[in-house]
Structure 1
Amino acid sequence: NRLIDQQQFDEADTLMKRLLSQQNGIVGLYRNLMVCDQMDVEMISKNRKEILDEMRTRDQMKVMKAMKKYPSVLRTEYVYTLLAEQNPKKAEKLMAQFRQCAKSYPYPSEIEGESQLMTLANERITSQQE
C-alpha cells in the first residue's frame, strides 16, 4: 500500500505478484484485497484487458460483491468502470457510493489514499481523451 500511495506502481506490482505466488500465511480475504490493488495498478499503468480478465476470477468477483461497500473495493470498481469499461456515468454512481461510505469510515487516511487513486484514474481517462 505504501508503494501504491507513492505511485511506485511497477515496484508495487512486482511485490504483489511475489506475495500472491507464495504460501506465506496471507489469508484469503487479504489476498483478494491485494488482487483489488493489483487490478488498480494494472488499470492505472498498462490497462491490459487480458490481464484484468485473469484477475477477475469468479472467486475474486464473489468476494468483491460481498465487500461492495468497502472503500478499496469501491475504488477498484470505480477505476475498472472508468478505465476498463470506459463508462463515466456508471463510474459517477460508484463515486457517489464511495463518498457516502467515506462519511462514516473510521480511517480517514485510508479514504484519502483511495481518493488519490480515484483522482489518478480520472487524470488517466482525461489524458486518454485528449
Structure 2
Amino acid sequence: MALLVTGTETDSTTLEWAMSPLLNHPDQLDQIRAKIDFKVGQGRLLDEQDLPNLHYLQIVINETLRFYPPVMLLGVLDVVQMAGLANWVIGLVLGSLIQSFEWERTKVDMSEGLGLTMPKIRPLEALCKPRLLMQRF
C-alpha cells in the first residue's frame, strides 16, 4: 500500500511544493513565464523538446526536489535525476501551468505535514485564469 500511495502522490506533491514558493515570490514566477515565452514563443504550447532550453525552470525543479524530496525518491534521487524522469514530468506540467495561466498572488503556508509523501500542512489553494494567448488553443 505504501508503494502505491507514494507512487501516485509524488508528482502531485512535488508540483504543489514547486508552485508554492513561486506564488510567494511572483517576480520569480514572472521570470520563468518570460523565459518560456521567449524560448517557446506564444504561438504554441510548451512540449518536451523545450525543456532542455528552460534552465531556470530546471533550477526551480531541482531546488524543489532538494528542499522537499518526495519520500519515495529519498534513496534514489540521484538515479531519478540522472534519468531525467522527475525533471521531465514535473517540468512539463509546471511549465505548462506557468505558460497557460495567470496566477493570483497569494501568501502560501510552507509548513510541512506528516505523511508518506511529505504533504503540506495546508494544501495549496490558488486562483488562476487563462492567459489571453491561451484562447488560441
TM-score, normalized by length of structure 2? 0.31
Task: Determine which structure has the larger strand proportion and give its number.
Answer: 2
Identify the structure with bigger relative contact order (alpha carbons < 8 Å, sequence gap 6+): 2
Instruction: Select the structure of larger CA radius of gyration.
Output: 2
